[in-house]
Structures are given as structure tokens and as C-alpha cells.
Structure 1
Amino acid sequence: MSSLTKPRDVGLGVFLFKAHPFHNPADKPEVRQLKLPLLIAALSSFVALPATAAPQCVNDKSGSKGVSNQEINQSLIQATDPLTQAFAYSNFEASRKAGYVVACELEDRFKALKKTSQDIAKVTKAQSNVKAIRRECIEASLQREVGNQGYSCLKDRPKKFENAGKSAPCLDSSTVDFIEYSLNQALNCMSSDRNPIDPRFILKKINNETAFNFYIAYNGGVGMGQLTSNPVKELAGWKEDGEFIEGNGRNILETLMKSQNPACKPFRDIMKDDLVNPPPRPGSPKNYCTWVSPGKGVARNLIYSLGYYVHVRDSIVRPALAARAGRLAANQDVLNYLTLVAYGPQGPSEAKSLIRKLRLSNTTAPGDAVSRIIKNNPYVRQTEVKMNELLDEYKPGVPHTPADKKGDTCLK
């Protein structure tokens, strides 16, 4: 099939459209002449419901949120960044089997980039030590009411809304698919070339802070990972009086840029200039779309959030713990719970202080250390409480098992 026009960056919503059940679009010349704006108007989401169906809000099982607020879904449809396109390509075969056909002018792009999706799938399967977070647990988290201000980013312009009640956005199935895909690809990418990231603790952290509402932004934190300026400065560095100052965690981004893991490619493409020109700080509303927009904002937020987690775990918490208790520093649960402590009000210094306060040593049993960390740190206790709220939605009416509480049953 030849292209009608020169391939160009187009939004996710125009990649595919639903075939009429009684006709083969390939046999209808008029189908080939459909203009892209008409395709955009015809779609309410990517590989989801026909445009005539009522919107389905995956984050609104209670029916209390704003079904009329479709701005987040619309901004995903219009996204043209590498991560969004990788998401579309990853669903290529499934969408064809579901009865969707590719617009002719994009056929060549799908063929050329299909191999990238296949490579990513192979790497994901090969790295069996990096388990994926289940979509069902992301859905369960999304039922939580987290409030705060949300921002949509149509045309990269932040538009504020209250993320509560009827003004909260509707997230359709495609948007939730995108959240699941982006998070697990980022975990895959950022676990290569180092000790893997434990996805259970990332699930707990995100569930506690944003419940996967990636569009939240306010002075206390921005986006899915609730980024502040310090993590960005630590990884990307900053410019002061015209002079570039390197962050202590710069090696995290350097490792990303050198990674041969195909899962990293969309993130590298989005962030390729960050080591030379640090991104704008998260704390100002004018910069919010850099961190919360579907696609590039989600990609950048995830990489900096996961990267900072790795930096704190490996460069701050582990050495501090190893100095007092080398055996505990080798225990992943103890190490990860102390890394969560570092997200409290006092930052990483809080984790180092707690190690001293609890007098952790090589004679301390790992289970006892974890219990004492939870008991003595408000942020970690809150994380555990919010995990129980997620489980109430994930397994309603069923007692939470120890595996549930650890997050094991939210992995696949």
C-alpha cells in the first residue's frame, strides 16, 4: 500500500480507525481519502470503543467523577512523542486482529517501526527478574480520591482543573493502557545495567502519592512521581550564573543514554538533550507540561523519579546502612523500605538518621528491621495504609494476605 502523503508526526488517535463490520476498507477508495482531522473526530480513544458509545471512565467505578472531562484522553490522542508512538506500535498486531485498520498513509511507518516493538517485547521477556505491575492494581489505585490540582496539556499549554468529584478527569481504557505500558517500560529500562528496581516499592510509592494520576501538579510535587526540583538537579544538574553544575546522580542519566536496552529508546529520544540543557524545574506552573503531559511529560517524570530512587538507594542509603550493618544492606526489603523513608519531609537525611536511631546492626533480623522502620516512620506507615486501600479495591471483601501487603500479587 503506498502512502498518500508524506509520513509525519501525528497523534495517537489517528493511527487506527474501526473497520465497518460489513465492508473491507481496503476495497473502498473513499476510505483511502479520509482526511486526518476526520479520523481524529471519529475516535474517542485508541483501539477502544466506537465513537458512538458512551465514554467509559476506568478510574470511576463509583460514578462520582467527571465523565464530561475528557481532556486527558484527548491530550493522549494528540500526542506525537516517541513514547506514545512506541505504545501505539506495541499494540499494532492486537489492533489489527480486533478489526482495526491502519490509515494508508501510516502503513509504511508501522512496518518500519514494528521491529522496535518486537525487540522491546523480547527484552521484557528475557529480563524475567524485572516483573511488570499488573494493570488491575493500577486500576484499583486509580479509584482512590487523591484531590489536588490537575493539568491537561493540549498543545503543551497547562490548563488547570480540580482533581476531585465531577471536575476530575475521565480516564478511558486507552489512557490506562498507556499508564501501564509507560510505567513497566520505564521499570524495564531503568533496571538494566544495575541492580534491578523492585516494582513493588514503586507501586507503593506512586499509589501513596498520586494513585497514578500523572497529571497532578502543585508546589509540593509534580506528576506521577511527585517530582520536586532537587531530584531533577541531582540527576540533570543545573545552571547557575551561566555556569553548569553537575548533579551527584548524573551517572544515572548517562547510563540511560548509553543503554542498549530497546525499552530505553523512547525515553532516550525524549531526554537526549537533558544532560546538556537541564529541563525546566518542576515547581512552576509554566513548566508543568514538561512533567505531566501524556507522552513526553510522563516519560520524563518516570525516568527522573525512578532514577532518583536508584540514586538514593545505591548512593546514599546503601552506604549508610552498610557502614553499620553489612548484612542488612544486602537485604532488598530493608534497603527499599529505608529508601522510602528518604521521601519523607527531611529527605535522604531522614533515612540516615533512622538507621542510627534504630541502632540497626548485623544482629538485627531483617523482618524485625522492616517492622521497626514501618513503626517509626510516618511516611512509610502512610504508604502501607494506602496500599491497603488499593487492595480493598483490587480484592474487595477478601482479607489481605502477607503476599498482598508486600505487593507480590500485584506483579505478573
Structure 2
Amino acid sequence: MKANHSFAANTCANDPQGTRGLGKNQSINNALKTANDPLTKAFLASIGKTDCPPPSTPIKTANDINKVVRSALPSGRIKAECIQASMQREVGNLGYSCKKGQPTAFENFKESVPCIDQKTFNFVQYSVNQALKCMSPAEDPIDPRVILRKINNETGFNFYIGYSGGVGIGQLTSDPVNEIAGWWSTSKVRDPKSKRVIKQNKYTPGNAHSILETLAANPNPACAPFKKIIEKELTTPPPSPGSKKNYCSWLSVGEGLGRSLVYGLGYYVYARDHFIKEALADRAPALLKYNDVVNTLTLVAYGPGGPAQAKSLIRTLRLNNRSKPFEVIKQVTQKSDYVSQTNDKMKELMTNMNKTSPTPEDLRGDTCVAP
């Protein structure tokens, strides 16, 4: 049985009660209808495998949405109700809809926020969870809780946002993209035959280029659409997210979302394994077994200053094998504005789930991940 993937009239996942004036801006929903990229095709192929309510039954609640998409999602998935609660946050900034690779801006605030209908919502949840399933190293999987917290903090799953501080669902900037994909540089050399000085372009792979190489060789079926999206980027860097003319490469409904997830999750693995864990191994190896400590420090690496800021905190706090994990997390949260902000945004998410007094476990994301 094929699922009915339409919300009731004038109902949006990010405005289920119709109280925010949403529903008029259908640009993102319309973009999904015309998308023809590998990730969208994979999602559409999965629809026939999902459970569905009777076609005449309006889908209004987060629990209803969760029932529709549950069987198509991988294990360790981020729950639908938490993604929906995140989408209900006011995150502001400019949003962009893309047509033939050209971005058109709109104000992502109150009445101008685009409606996310059920099909688009399902696509976002599917894409995020498939990316987690694909990009997680088998020996040390990505913790979906920290990805939920980061995306909730950055964009509230409003994957179409772009501005000078970041682009797409994870708000990527040029630095982490270059670190993974590499860059072109131009130098002047003398032609040995003509003796003339000519310009020569040179491609230099990033220090984390193995992220793309590992993805390209991954036989996991969840990786198939992502591999197709980035296949050319094994030898040629993608368009820089720092230029507005390139925004659609990072925030368009299909290809842009897929690319953003590959680079965003890839950078998480790189920062965690090559900066945070190595720094802890040098100063406080006993803390490596505490995922919450590693996750919190990795969140620092996403903020201003990047991984260097996280390594600096490890030194400043004088972490060692006698450091208590709970105290480390508390100290890092106090010292890092980014981590503190992440916790505040999780409180907003929980408020939208009617949890006005969230527990530490709620704020950590425990209740938002299904096995």
C-alpha cells in the first residue's frame, strides 16, 4: 500500500496548529516536486515501503508523522516528533528556494516561513537518518544525539537557510569544506619549451579527503544516493558555500541537502577522531570512554575557533585522568558560548514538545533517538 503523503489543507509540519500564519509560502514543497536528484529518487522509492493511514485521514500530530515514516528509517534514527519540534522554532535569517540552480531569497520569519508539508517533512527526516546510517564508521558510530543538537541549534532543520555565517542544514562554511574536499590554487611556472611564464592550476586534496574516499567505497545501500551526489568531488572541489551564487549547491531540496549532510557529518567524524580524541589521548585518555565528554568537546569544534578552540579548552581546563566526566561537561558548557547556546535551543525544542521542565537527559537528546 502506498502512503498518502499530503497533510490536511493548510496544515504544515512546522505549524501544526496553524497559529504562526504559515502555509502561504509553498516554495520548498514545490521544489521537492520537481527535484530529480539521487537522494530524492531514493526517498520516493522508499515511500511504497512505509506504513500509512487511510487516505482520508488528515495527519496532524508528530506521532502520526512518525507512524508514516517509521519503517523506512534506519536504526538509531532521530525521531519525527523531535525534528518537528525543532522546525517549529523561530530561527530567522534568509531562506532560499532554488530553480535551475538559481537561488531566490525570502525572509525566514513568521508569515514568510515556508510551509513544510508532510512529504517534505518525511524527506528531511529520511535524508538525515540515511546520512547518519551511511556516514557512521562501523567501529565508532556517529551519535545521533549530538547531530540533533547541532542541527537544532544551527537551523532547526530549516535546511534552506543561507547567510555569511553558514549555508545549509549544518551551516557549512568554506573552511570545513576545503578541509574535506580540497581546493584549487594557481601558480606561475615557466614553460620549459617556450620559456614563457604561464599559469598552472593545481588541485590539493584536503586533510580530511579520506572522508569522501571512504564514502565512495562504502557498499552500504544507504550511501548510494550520497555517493552519486559527491562522485565528482573526489577530484574536483564543490562550489564554495561562501559565495551566494553557489548557495543552491548546499541548500537545495535534494542535491543540496544531501551534499550538506555528507560534509557536515563527515566533518563531525574528522573533528572528533583527529582533534578531540587525539587531544584527550594525550592529556586524559581515561575520558575517551565517556561519549558525552567527547560529544560536548566536538560541539565546541563546530563553533567559533573550530577544533583549535576545543583543544585549547582541554588545555585550559587541565583535563586529566582524574577529571570527573560530569564536571568536565559542566565546565565546557560554561566556557563555550556555542555549547551553552546549543543547550538553550534544546530547551526551546523541548518546550515545543510540551516539556517545560526538561531533564538533563532530554537536553542531551536521549528522548529524541529511537533504537
CA 1:370–1:264 in 2, change beyond 3 Å: closer, same or farther? same
- Structure 2 contact 293–325 (Cα < 8 Å) conserved: yes
Tell me how far apart the structure 2 counterparts of residues 262 and 285 of structure 1 sit (CA, whole Å).
33
The residue aligned with 2:99 is 154
The residue aligned with 2:37 is 81
- Structure 1 contact 87–181 (Cα < 8 Å) conserved: yes
Match of 2:147 among 193, 202, 224: 202
SS at 2:234's partner residue? coil
SS at 1:69's partner residue? coil
Offset, 1:98: 5.3
Offset, 1:93: 3.6
Is it true that 1:174 corresponds to 2:129 in the alignment?
Answer: no
Is it true that 1:403 corresponds to 2:361 in the alignment?
Answer: yes
Offset, 1:373: 0.8
Offset, 1:166: 1.4
Aligned residues: 340
The residue aligned with 2:302 is 343
Is it true that 1:276 corresponds to 2:221 in the alignment?
Answer: no
Tell me how far apart the structure 2 counterparts of residues 365 and 188 of structure 1 sit (CA, whole Å).
31
SS at 2:283's partner residue? coil
Tell me how far apart the structure 2 counterparts of residues 205 and 296 of structure 1 sit (CA, whole Å).
21
Tell me how far apart the structure 2 counterparts of residues 287 and 381 of structure 1 sit (CA, whole Å).
31
Gaps of 5+ in 2: 57-70, 187-200
Structure 2 letter corresponding to 1:364: S
The residue aligned with 2:20 is 64
- Structure 2 contact 49–72 (Cα < 8 Å) conserved: no
Question: For each residue in 1:164-199, what CA deviation from the matched residue of structure 2 results, as whole angstroms up to 9, or x when unmatched?
Answer: 121111111111111110000000001144410001
Offset, 1:345: 1.5
Gaps of 5+ in 1: 1-15, 19-45, 101-119, 126-130
- Within-5 A mapping of 1:4-83: 47-49=5-7, 54-60=9-15, 61=17, 63-83=19-39
Question: For each residue in 1:280-308, what CA deviation from the matched residue of structure 2 results, as whole angstroms up to 9, or x when unmatched?
Answer: 00011110000000111000000100000
The residue aligned with 2:175 is 230
Tell me how far apart the structure 1 counterparts of residues 12 and 182 of structure 2 sit (CA, whole Å).
39
Structure 1 letter corresponding to 2:148: L
- Structure 1 contact 65–169 (Cα < 8 Å) conserved: no
Tell me how far apart the structure 2 counterparts of residues 88 and 181 of structure 1 sit (CA, whole Å).
10
- Structure 2 contact 11–18 (Cα < 8 Å) conserved: no
The residue aligned with 1:389 is 348
CA 1:254–1:292 in 2, change beyond 3 Å: closer, same or farther? same
Structure 1 letter corresponding to 2:301: A
CA 1:370–1:62 in 2, change beyond 3 Å: closer, same or farther? farther
CA 1:307–1:286 in 2, change beyond 3 Å: closer, same or farther? same
The residue aligned with 1:369 is 328
Tell me how far apart the structure 1 counterparts of residues 305 and 6 of structure 2 sit (CA, whole Å).
44
CA 1:318–1:65 in 2, change beyond 3 Å: closer, same or farther? farther
SS at 1:272's partner residue? helix
Tell me how far apart the structure 2 counterparts of residues 379 and 65 of structure 1 sit (CA, whole Å).
31
SS at 1:323's partner residue? helix
Q: What CA RMSD, in Å, does the superposition of the two structures yield over aligned residues?
A: 2.0
- Structure 2 contact 162–251 (Cα < 8 Å) conserved: yes
CA 1:196–1:186 in 2, change beyond 3 Å: closer, same or farther? same
Question: For each residue in 1:356-402, what CA deviation from the matched residue of structure 2 results, as whole angstroms up to 9, or x when unmatched?
Answer: 110100001111111111111111011011111101111345x3123
Structure 1 letter corresponding to 2:365: G
Offset, 1:47: 2.3
Question: For each residue in 1:209-254, what CA deviation from the matched residue of structure 2 results, as whole angstroms up to 9, or x when unmatched?
Answer: 1000000001100000100001110111111111011111001111
SS at 2:96's partner residue? strand
The residue aligned with 1:35 is none
The residue aligned with 1:139 is 84
